[in-house]
Amino acid sequence: MKILTIVGARPQFIKAAAVSRAINEYDDIHEVIVHTGQHFDESMSDVFFREMSIPDVKYNLKINGLTHGAMTGQMLEKIEEVILNEKPDWVLVYGDTNSTLAGALAASKLHVKVAHVEAGLRSFNMRMPEEQNRVLTDRISSVLFCPTENAVENLKSEGFESLSVKIKNVGDVMFDATRFYEKSIGDKARVEIDGKYLLVTCHRAENTDNLDRFKEIILALNELSKKYKIVFPLHPRTKKVIENNKIKLDFKPIEPVGYFDMLKLIKNSEFVMTDSGGLQKEAYFHQKYCLTMRDETEWVELIENKVNVLTGACSKKILQEARRISNLKFNSSTDLYGDGNSADLIIKSLINLQNYE
């Protein structure tokens, strides 16, 4: 069996590392990795492949820095060429990026089966590019690997049970990665932060492309910096917004960090503040509360279990919730994301589906 894996962004590298490790347990499965180039620089891409021992990329498409339409269109064209050349049995896509949708579209149009890892998630905000990508990818996939029961229920409510598609709740491959790699934090993490600090990331277009929202977030961070160190690994998009608009920070951000440094930063933080999807879960894996600076989240079970809170981009709400959770002891023993064997379940499912056909 040949699997063509499509990746392009940091969270996908982490998920692919877990699944590639499971693939390596089988001599009769061949994986070909395609990197679209969506995240392309050393700090956002190369370091993850190196640190996590992800197999070598066979195709690097080097597509980045374009509008959504141009980026997705170029990826679609180039991935199609790769599929025609490699003739895979499955195309494996992850999450909700432009790389995800382009990979699924290219495969679907060539009648190659698509497996979507992290299927069924919904924020119910169709203005978000990520929501558009995940909904469309689900619809043209052959098998949907869901990370939670909520994701399965989303698909059922949209009528997927009546479609010719397999739906499987396998748990979350990011949980696999955290469990496997956390034992190496001491050896591989290089970042050192003294004292109490908050870990912050902010890069989503809904915040960085809306200057009013972004300024509200910075206003809250500047205020919090009077009490805490703010550890803010700066995404390239966010850095441009700050520089182009001469936004004043009362703290010094840091450069983007690799996977093991990020795990260490999460583990030793007071709590996490983010607009990322993956970091919400990683905070939970390390038993840290999370403030999510968005109006909605696809990880609703974190909200339901009161370990994550939505603040939007309102500085008053951010500060109010930061004060509240700073006095709380993390309290959740619920197993929300499987048993840490999601990648193995995915590969066994693909084998069974392949043999059944």
Residues noted as catalytic? 203
Q: Which of 187, 183, 242 is nearest to 215 (CA)?
A: 242
Distance CA 99, CA 36 (A): 6
DSSP secondary structure, 11-66, as one string:
HHHHHHHHHHHHHTT-TT-EEEEEE--SS-SIIIIIHHHHHTTPPPPSEE----SS
Distance CA 16, CA 11 (A): 9
Provide the CB-side half-sphere exposure for 25 (13 A, CA): 11
Distance CA 10, CA 215 (A): 25
Give 294-303 contacts, CB < 8 A, sequence gap 24+. Answer: 294/204, 294/206, 294/207, 295/125, 295/206, 296/123, 296/124, 296/125, 297/123, 298/121, 298/122, 298/123, 298/131, 298/134, 299/121, 300/150, 301/148, 301/150, 301/336, 302/336
Contacts (Cβ under 8 Å, ≥6 apart) of 24 = 55
Name residue, tokens 């909904």. Answer: 135
Q: Which of 188, 180, 190, 200 is nearest to 269 (CA)?
A: 200
